[in-house]
Structure 1
Amino acid sequence: MDERPITIWAVSDGRAGIENQALGLAEAVARLTPASIVRKHVRFRENYDRLPTGLKLQPRRFLAADADPIEPPWPDLWIAAGRATMPFSLRMRRWTKGKTFVVQVQDPRWPPQMFDAVVPPRHDRVVGPNVIDITGSPHRVTPEKLDDALIRFRELVDPLPHPRVAVLIGGKSKAFDISPERASRLAAEIALAVETEKGSVMVTFSRRTPQRARDLLASRLKPLPGVVWDGEGANPYFAFLAAADYVLVTEDSTNMATEAASTGKPVFILKMDGESLKFRRFHEELERRDVARPFGGTLYRWDYPPLRETDWAATDVLARMRARAG
Structure 2
Amino acid sequence: MEVGPQPLRIAVVSDGRIGMENQALGLAEAVGRLTPVEIAVKRVRWRPVFDWLPVSMKSTWMLASGSPFPAGGEAWPDLWIATGRATLPLSIAARRLSGGKTFVVQTQDPRLDPALFDLVVAPAHDALEGGNVVSITGSPHRVTAERLAEAAPAFAGRIDPLPRPRVAALIGGKSKAFDLTPDHAARLADRIAGAMSAVGGSLMLTFSRRTPEAAKAAMTERLKALPGWIWDGEGPNPMFAFLNAADQILVTEDSANMAAEAASTGRPVHVLPMVALKPPGKFARLHADLEERGATRPFDGLLEGWTYEPLAETDRAARAVLKAMGR
The yes-or-no answer on 1:244 pairing with 2:246 is yes
Corresponding residue of 2:296? 292
Structure 2 match to 1:319: 323
Partner of 2:110: 108
Q: C-alpha distance in 2, partners of 1:52/1:296? A: 45
Aligned to 1:99: 101
2:142 matched residue in structure 1: 140
**Following the alignment from structure 1 to structure 2, what is the Cα–Cα distance between the partners of residues 91 and 299?**
50
Decide whether the 8 Å contact of 1:41 with 1:68 is kept in 2.
no
Pick one of 221, 225, 228 that aligns with 1:226.
228
Distance in 1 between residues matched to 2:150 and 2:101, nearest whole Å: 37
Other-structure match for 1:62: 62
Superposition deviation, residue 122 in structure 1:
0.2
> In the alignment, what sits opposite 1:162?
164
CA distance in 1, matches of 2:182, 2:231: 20
For residues 311 and 323 of structure 2, the distance between their equivalents in structure 1, rounded to whole angstroms, comes to: 20
Aligned to 2:267: 265
Whole-angstrom CA distance in 2 between matches of 1:75 and 1:318: 14
In 2: Cα distance, 1:167 partner to 1:231 partner? 14
Kept after mapping to 1: 8 A contact 2:141/2:261: yes
SS in structure 2 at match of 1:120? strand
Look up the equivalent residue of 1:185 and give its one-letter code: R
Q: 4+ residue runs of structure 1 moved beyond 4 angstroms?
A: none
Alpha-carbon distance in structure 2 between the residues aligned to 1:130 and 1:50: 28
Mapped partners of 1:69, 1:185: distance in 2: 46
Which amino acid in 2 is paired with 1:61? W
Q: Distance between the aligned counterparts of 2:56 and 2:186, measured in 1? A: 44
Q: Which moved further from structure 2: 68-77 or 19-28?
A: 68-77
Distance of 1:261 and 1:15 partners within structure 2: 22
Counterpart of 2:9 in structure 1: which amino acid? T
* Aligned counterpart, 2:127: 125
2:54 counterpart residue number? 52
Q: CA deviation at 1:151?
A: 2.1
1:182 to 184, 187, 201: 184
Which AA in structure 1 matches 2:111? R
Mapped to 1, the partners of 2:206 and 2:110 lie a distance apart of: 30
TM-score of the superposition, structure 1-length normalised? 0.96
Aligned length: 319
- Encode CA deviations 1:61-112: one digit per residue, 9 max, x unaligned: 1110x44542343110000000000011112111011110000000010111
Counterpart secondary structure, 1:89: helix
TM-score normalised to the size of structure 2? 0.95
- 1-side partners of 2:169 and 2:66: how far apart? 34
For residue 147 of structure 1, report the CA deviation from its aligned partner. 1.0
For the residues of structure 2 that align with 1:163 and 1:114, how far apart are their CA atoms? 49
Gaps of 5+ in 2: none
Q: What's the offset of the Cα at 1:299?
A: 0.5
Which ranges in structure 1 are unaligned for 5 or more consecutive residues?
none
Contact 1:141–1:262 (CA<8 Å) still a contact in 2? yes
Identity of aligned pairs, percent?
58
Amino acid at match of 1:276: P
**Does residue 279 of structure 1 match 2:278?**
no
Distance change (3 Å), C-alpha of 1:68 and 1:207: farther
**CA displacement, residues 182-207 of structure 1 (integer Å, 9 cap, x when unaligned):** 10110000000011101110000011
AA in 2 matched with 1:102: V
